[in-house]
Amino acid sequence: MRHVASFSGGKDSTAMVLRLIEEGRPIDEIVFFDTGWEFPQMYDHIAKFEAFTGRTVTRLTHRQPFGDEMLNRNPVAGSNRVWVGWPSMHRRWCTQIKMRTIRRHVQGDMQYVGIASDESVRLNTGYLSAKHNIFPLVDWAMDEAACLAYCRARGFDWGGLYNIFSRVSCFCCPLQRIGHLRNLRRHFPALWAQMLAWDAELGAHNRGFREYNKVADLERRFSIEDRQGELPGMANMEINIGGIK
C-alpha cells in the first residue's frame, strides 16, 4: 500500500512532511490541492520546500479556479447543495471539492494528514475519520506553535505570512477572523481589490462573510476605522454602520 502525504503548504503539514522525511518514514507521494486562492508566497514556499527536500509535490486542481467556480454556478433558492457565491459555514463547497479531489486521487492509500496535537478534537469528524488516515503530529505531540518553530528552524518563513496571520490558507476565506481580513486589506491591497471585484460581480447572491453580506460592507467598515485612527480621541469609538458593529 502506498503512503501519501496531504500537503496544504501551511506550518502543520510542512512540519509533518519534513519530520517524516527526516525520520525515514515511507512517503510515495506528496499531494497539494491548488484552489487558485493561495497567497503568492505559498507558491514560493512550495518551490522552496521542493528544493530543500528534493521531493516533487503533486499539484491537484479542480476543472477551473475557485474564483471562476464561484461566479459561474447558478443559484437555486432554498438549496444548501447549490454552490453559488462565497463559501459559508453551511455551504462549504470549496472544502467539498478539495476533499473529494484528494480522496479520488489517494483512493485506498494510507494518507498522512497534518492535524496538530492541539486540534486532535477534529480527528473523528468527517473525512478525518477515514480508517487509512495517519496523524503523525498527534503521535509526536506537536502543537501548532511547535510546528511553526520546527519549520522556522529549517529556514522556512513563508515570506513573512505568519508574521501577519495565524493561518495562511485561502486568502479570501469568508470564515477567517475579522482581524485577518483587516490585515489582508492592509498588507495585500491587490488581493483585497480582487475580492471586491468578485463581490461586485456576485451581486444579490453574495453571502458568506459571517455577519456581513458583502466584502463591500467590510471595506466601508475598514475605511471608517482608518479615518477614525487619524482623528484624536476617535480610536476607541464604536463603529455601527447599518447594524454592523
Q: Of 206, 208, 170, 207, whose CA–CA distance to 191 is shortest?
A: 170
Torsion of CA 13, 15, 21, 27, to 10 degrees: -10
Tens digit of each residue's pLDDT, the chain (245 residues): 899 999 999 999 999 999 999 999 999 999 999 999 999 999 999 999 999 999 999 999 998 888 888 887 654 445 545 556 788 777 788 888 898 999 899 888 999 999 999 887 666 655 555 568 899 999 999 999 999 999 999 999 999 999 999 999 999 998 889 999 999 999 999 999 999 998 888 866 565 676 666 898 899 999 999 988 765 444 444 433 333 33
Which single residue is written with the C-alpha cell 488516515? 133
- Write down the pTM of the prediction: 0.84
Alpha-carbon distance 185 to 86, whole Å? 17
Let me know: does 171 contact 193? Beta carbons within 8 Å: no
Helix (H) or strand (E) holding 226, with range, is helix 215-229
DSSP for residue 29: E
Q: Are strands 29-34 and 57-61 parallel, antiparallel or unpaired?
A: parallel
Is 3-167 CATH 3.40.50.620? yes
The residue ranges of every structural domain in the chain are 3-167, 177-245
